[in-house]
Structure 1
Amino acid sequence: MVSQHEFLAQDDPAFQSFFQPGATLERISTGYIWVEGPVWLDDISELRFSDIPNNRMMTWSEEKGTRVFRQPSQRTNGSAVDRGGNMVSCEHGGRCISRTGKDGTYEVLATHWQGKRLNSPNDLVVKSDGSIWFTDPPYGIISDHEGIRADSEIGSNNVYRLDPSTGEVELVAGDFDRPNGLAFSPDESVLYIADSGRARGHGFGFDDSRPHHVRALEVLDDTKLGASSVVADIDMVPDGLRVDTEGLLWISAVDGIHCYTPEGRRLGRILIPEVVANLTFGGSNGSRLFITATSSVYAVETTRKGAERA
């Protein structure tokens, strides 16, 4: 365990109040290659996450500890819970969006856009109307480390909206380099999307000429995106992100979790001793922050709660 004075870096004194008195950073599970895609399932009080290169999904709970949930897992990356309590996931290996029902049933929801196979869906969020918004960078096809090496059929890296009732996949943003994590504001008027273009992918290092920021895009008519602006420029490269009930952004980056206001002011960081991939809120009251970082999963109690879809 790591004490508060060791893992918190404050830009604003208020950041200290976002954590329970005496809160510690705890490593709750370890032994992975590259751990990603944490999602909390409230119905069963379990955290699921992916060990992508090992092609498996794991599950963790206070009562039972860590177990294998699915192997092989099609190198699943980001996941979320839909309106029915089912898990929807981005698969690098399957190059698709899938759904795992509460009863264990599995189905593929989308594999193509305009007749062309998706690159490697990376992360997603479910809107209150049930639509699934997801990013599709090439990280799962540029090498065999996180997916299966292949050429892109689409030729670009985009953000899409999937209507699960019709199966229609609609492009909502085509001007990103490598779109990654995403999250809606609490009232769903804004969609935040990370662009991790600076990170070239496994073994390819960094390209300083490419983007490393989070953009805020206006949501129009529930199905389209409008004007956008950069709200966080993170040199350490943003990856996953979540929004709490008061609209603050919690963004994973190489060195830890960065917390920003919607206006773009950084309040502080949670420093993690491994390269961070993603995060999610969960636990019995929704205020425990789970962080996936290279070989381990970490957790810390906060005074915040993740924003939920109405």
Structure 2
Amino acid sequence: MRLRRREFVGGIAAVTIASCVPRDGAADSKSTASPTVESFSPELAAIIDPAGQLETLATGFSWSEGPVWDQMRNRLYFSDVPQNTVFMWSEEADLEIFLKPSGLPDGEDPAPFDSAGINGMWIGKDGQLIAASHGKRAVTSIDIDSKVETVLADQYQGKPLNSPNDVVEDRHGNIYFTDPPYGLKDGDQSVLKQQSQNGVYRLAKDGSISLIDASLTRPNGIALSPDQSILYVAQSDPARQILKSYVIGRDGSIIDKGVFFDAQSLAGDEAPGLPDGMCVAVTGHVFATGPGGVLILSPSGRLLGRINTGKACANCTFGNDGRTLYMTASDKLLRIPLKIRGIGFA
């Protein structure tokens, strides 16, 4: 595969080569050995080539996050949260700025915020970009062509949300999102924090919001199983690095199934990163960021392999025809070919 390395320093002076900006719940960007695909099961060979190599598409970000593939326009969107920017990448145009600022307006005092930009994103059923905005402390919808933004949710029980982090939409138009305090300066001790919990929520199609789980200390990445009967949520707490799963009933009710995968034993200085963003294949395999890079898990939660990204990996998504995994890892945008497709690709 053709190796492409492009340092993006044009457009805005703030986008330069930089290490990850450490924050509560985010690992530093310490490099590991050369990135490779690490196998823990013979089953992995049917999912990804064990000899597969990472391709670096762009570098020079502060903390790259939230990748999502736009099938209609054949391009990827991803965010640099501290730099308050959403980028887009395509084979034809390479790297471009899609939205700047992505969160708080330019000139607004960012002092109470650790990062003011958009974090996780999703392409909605209506073709619009659904975004978890740290700075706006809201889940929003952005028209991709006009860039007009609409707030979908910014409160729960009359109080402002913390700083929505990641989003996923089901086939009916209901949106699930996580709301840790990462966007707020001083986190749980922020003067702006009014929610007692760092919650996992369901934003129903009718606009009502319900709290799914208030027990997680650092809820982060979120995803749905192929049949949308299971909701997965990653927790980025260094002391309890887990992925949880929940059963979703036909009536929208949710039952906590407990721990889907415990990544704590994988943690260490040689494996930077925490459970963060994730995506799911049509086969039910879960690609979850975690210690060392991207963990490849069976539908039952067995660890089959790991893509060692060399730096803390924040998130991942499928792109192209669904058989390419794009990864945002600290200051880099990476990808690797797969043998299976992601959900939503024909």
TM-score, normalised to structure 2, is: 0.80
Contact 1:161 1:223 in 2 (8 A): no
Aligned-partner SS, 1:54: coil
Following superposition, the deviation at residue 222 of structure 1 comes to 4.4
1:215·1:232 contact (CA, 8 Å) conserved in 2? Answer: yes
5+ unaligned residues in a row in structure 2: which ranges?
5-33, 104-116, 268-273
Q: Is residue 90 from structure 1 mapped to residue 126 from structure 2 by the alignment?
A: no
- The partner residue of 2:277 within 237, 240, 244 is 240
- Paired amino acid for 1:302: L
How far apart, CA to CA, are the structure 2 residues paired with 1:212 and 1:65?
A: 35
What corresponds to 2:181 in structure 1? 138
Indicate whether 1:277 and 2:314 are aligned: yes
CA-based RMSD of the aligned residues comes to 2.0
C-alpha distance 60-150 of structure 1, shift in aligned 2 (>3 A): farther
User: For residues 160 and 176 of structure 2, what CA distance do their matches in structure 1 show?
Assistant: 17
Alignment of 1:176-195 (within 5 A): 176-195=216-235
Deviation at 1:263, TM superposition (A): 1.8
**1:63-115: CA deviations, max 9, x gaps?**
00000111111100000011111110000011001111243222111110110
In 1, the alpha carbon distance for the partners of 2:76 and 2:341 equals 16
Cα–Cα, structure 1 residues 254 and 81, in superposed 2: closer, same or farther, change >3 Å? same
1:309 to partner: Cα distance:
9.5
1:50 partnered with 2:92: no
| Residue 253 of structure 2 corresponds to residue 224 of structure 1 | yes
Q: CA deviation at 1:59?
A: 0.4
> What is the DSSP-based 3-state SS (H/G/I as helix, E as strand, rest coil) of the residue aligned with 1:15?
helix
Tell me, which stretches of 5 or more residues in structure 1 are unaligned? 199-207
Question: Which of 202, 214, 217 matches 2:243?
Answer: 214
For 1:295, the equivalent position in structure 2 comes to: 331
In 2, the alpha carbon distance for the partners of 1:294 and 1:111 equals: 28
Q: Do the aligned partners of 1:186 and 1:309 also contact (CA within 8 Å) in 2? A: no
Q: Which amino acid aligns with 1:25?
A: L
Q: Which amino acid aligns with 1:291?
A: M
Contact 1:11 1:266 (C-alpha < 8 Å) held by counterparts: yes
Using the size of structure 1 for normalisation, the TM-score is: 0.89
Matched with 1:35 is 64
Q: Secondary structure at the match of 1:212?
A: strand
- TM-superposed deviation, 1:6: 5.2
Give the SS at the match of 1:16: helix
Task: Give how far 1:233 is off.
Answer: 0.6
CA contact (8 A) 1:59 1:67 kept: yes
- The whole-number CA distance in structure 2 between the counterparts of 1:150 and 1:66 is 37
Change (3 A) 1:114 1:6: closer
Cα distance 1:309–1:43, how it changes in 2: closer, same or farther (>3 A)? closer
Counterpart-to-counterpart distance in 2, 1:222 and 1:302: 35
Which residue does the alignment assign to 2:145? Answer: 103
CA 1:59–1:222 in 2, change beyond 3 Å: closer, same or farther? farther
Cα 1:79–1:25 change in 2 (3 A) is same
Shift of 1:253: 1.4
* Partner residue in 1 for 2:304: 267
Give the distance between the partners of 1:150 and 1:35, measured in 2 at CA: 27
Match of 1:113 in 2: 156
Identical columns (%) = 35
User: Partner amino acid for 2:131?
Assistant: S
Give the corresponding residue for 2:341: 305
Decide whether the 8 Å contact of 2:35 with 2:310 is kept in 1: no
Report the residue type matching 2:315 in the other structure.
N
The aligned counterpart of 2:270 is none
Q: Deviation string for 1:106-128 (max 9, x for gaps)?
A: 21111101100000000010001
Asked if structure 1 preserves the Cα contact closer than 8 Å seen for 2:313 and 2:328, the reply is: yes
Using the alignment, how far apart are the partners of 2:90 and 2:259 within structure 1? Answer: 37
Q: Secondary structure at the match of 1:154?
A: coil
**What residue is the counterpart of 1:171 in the other structure?**
211
Aligned in 2, Cα 1:37/1:6: closer, same or farther, shift over 3 Å? closer
SS in 2 for 1:37: strand
Over 3 Å counting, the alpha-carbon distance change for 1:309 and 1:28 in structure 2 is: closer
**C-alpha contact 2:230 2:248 (8 A) present in aligned 1:** yes
| CA displacement 1:209-228 (0-9 Å, x = unmatched) | xx210011111234221131
Measured in 1, the distance between the counterparts of 2:120 and 2:256 equals: 26
Residue number in structure 1 paired with 2:172: 129
Residue 171 of structure 1 aligns with an amino acid whose one-letter code is L
User: Partners in 2 of 1:41 and 1:309 — Cα distance?
Assistant: 11
Question: In structure 2, how many angstroms separate the alpha carbons of the residues matched to 1:277 and 1:288?
Answer: 17
